[in-house]
Structure 1
């Protein structure tokens, strides 16, 4: 519904209006939370100021370097300089987390291969999914000539499969295990994204966009749950908040880094000897193909990190 309503606002009013959709939703959720959720016991703590600042600036500099490279190249001094600053800040963050009494991100969270795999897999998965929405919108509007409203409606073929798949995850997990469901979802996503990357300026919406979206919807709906479970697996009660926070960090940074990387793919594809809509279609195809590679890498992470660790934990528990 969000995509359709966003299309309505962009088509009839302004794209800026779409950002206000979250305000009433957020206020309603705050009101409900205050009435339903019980307050937890208060504990003394300390702000990890250096860790918060260094991690934020470090990741921001990394994203800027990736996006900036599309304009001036990777070997430009400005790109290399920002990249060096990013590495330095992130190194400071790691050292800080090792030394402070109450780190923002306890490094012991990375002692589990399953959790590390979940964070990497989520980075890659979200990078591909955010880029899917971005480039699919560009393709429908700029190549197929859809209006913003039509483009919003154009995402409906993935909406119902996403909803059905998400509801089916508990049942599927009991039968195939968390790792099995995750791998199946990533296979569906890889096939759907690759299929979508084949669309060009002559593609039909139904065969080139809608059908791949069915697979993408099924994969999207069934991947997030297992990734979240793996991301907080076997966490000590004292680290549950930090582990959940790391899941969210991987979620947010995956979309940011992934989109930045695939925009670089998009820009590099402009060197092809094509013009007009044909060139634009080719650029979007290359970017979406890059997204399918990201999902394929997430599948490999799941197969070699999450599934073996999850199976070992299950055997130990039983």
Structure 2
């Protein structure tokens, strides 16, 4: 027992801080795009690729990142991911023109795609039983708070210093995590004859990357979608034929996990779309600066942290499925509430109060969703399961933002557009609610 406590005190912070860096970067870009465009003289299309290049590689390499940890050892792959991520962050911060920042953001995304699923797999390796439940709760809390803190920190850094410092910050932190990992994280090498499925890897990377591009790309999106469907279809066929697939299909034979994946997909889609459109609304409707915009998300971040602290207790009392259902209801109410309140009531009534409700829900939902997403998986496929969880997370984000923007692009009055966007986001969150009901039904059947 003493040994486990020692591990809990050293290994978990390394995992959480590494994961936090990825999430922070993902959100910092939201509040930094205007400054990046000004400094590097980017037009709207080039600026879009600053985000899309990262999303493309981050989403496309997720399954690969999770599976190589299963095959070659989680610690080794984690260290490689830290180096790639840190170097990518440095080069993004040093970028002097559009092509450089776009290519470095793509490289940065590969580092993130290796690092993100490996953090969760390392957690599953190092903790078991009650300690694993508590560690996953902390991991889920980090997933939510990292996204919210990114909005605040991005606004502060961009306004007081430079958007570059948001990326430079990762370099010393990443190197510190690298050294701590070497000294304190135990090797959990896979003692099997598993080899990396090359065909499945190539098809999954091509398929997922094409799927991301079909959502976020600027041209030839239909062609990209066709390539994605064909590649992913061939990938599924290939996975049936090999002994060690990059995405073991048995991951999807469990209804509990499947429901958790769907619930997470729609919840993340709603949450990130909410952050994306609200960031713009605060600046365009209320005239907030980037610094004020970042600080305006405190009503999400603080309740989220408070809610997250209650997850372990509530989960053990009412179960993950019920907790997810309650949390998604709170998130849906929080998003929708601005619509009847009306923007003319000002920030504190129209935005801050709904943010508090939204924040509590987000604080409660991500930990149990993570736990359900990796439930009943054996160590040999823990990395692949982690890769699926993170892939669903990334694609939910991309799809949510794209759907909301596409469905409301014809509305030219920004106040009206924002309210319409909130209605669409509420509907997306409602789909997560339906998936949560299926998850609850699956949990009851298991009993």
Indicate whether the TM-score tops 0.5: yes
The CA deviation string for residues 47-83 of structure 1, in whole angstroms up to 9 with x for no partner, is: 2233223223223322333345xx78xxxxx443332
Q: 1:281 to 1:56 in 2, by over 3 A?
A: farther
Matching residue within 180, 184, 187 for 1:39: 187
For residue 373 of structure 2, what is the aligned residue in structure 1? 231
Q: 1:125 to 1:24 in 2, by over 3 A?
A: farther
Offset of residue 198 of structure 1: 5.2
Q: 1:176 to 1:209 in 2, by over 3 A?
A: same
CA distance in 1, matches of 2:211, 2:382: 28
Offset of residue 162 of structure 1: 0.7
Matching residue within 140, 144, 150 for 2:282: 140
Structure 1 range deviating more: 103-112 or 125-134: 125-134
CA distance in 2, matches of 1:199, 1:87: 42
> Which has the higher relative contact order, 1 or 2, with Cα contacts under 8 A spaced 6 or more apart?
1
Matching residue within 351, 373, 398 for 1:209: 351
For residue 292 of structure 1, what is the aligned residue in structure 2? 426
For residue 396 of structure 2, what is the aligned residue in structure 1? 254
Structure 1 range deviating more: 198-207 or 244-253: 198-207
For residue 53 of structure 1, what is the aligned residue in structure 2? 202
Pairwise mapping of residues 297-308 of structure 1 onto structure 2 (< 5 A)? 297-304=431-438, 306-308=439-441
For residue 90 of structure 1, what is the aligned residue in structure 2? 232
CA distance in 1, matches of 2:395, 2:318: 29
Q: Which runs of 5+ in 1 are unaligned?
A: 73-77
Q: 1:67 to 1:39 in 2, by over 3 A?
A: closer
Q: 1:124 to 1:94 in 2, by over 3 A?
A: same
For residue 283 of structure 1, what is the aligned residue in structure 2? 417
For residue 247 of structure 2, what is the aligned residue in structure 1? 105
Offset of residue 258 of structure 1: 1.8
Task: Give the TM-score taking structure 2 as reference length.
Answer: 0.63
Q: 1:283 to 1:63 in 2, by over 3 A?
A: farther
CA distance in 2, matches of 1:201, 1:24: 42
Structure 1 range deviating more: 158-167 or 197-206: 197-206
Pairwise mapping of residues 173-192 of structure 1 onto structure 2 (< 5 A)? 173-192=315-334
CA distance in 2, matches of 1:95, 1:265: 34
Offset of residue 294 of structure 1: 1.4
Offset of residue 125 of structure 1: 1.1
Offset of residue 203 of structure 1: 4.2
The CA deviation string for residues 67-110 of structure 1, in whole angstroms up to 9 with x for no partner, is: 45xx78xxxxx443332222111111211211122111101111
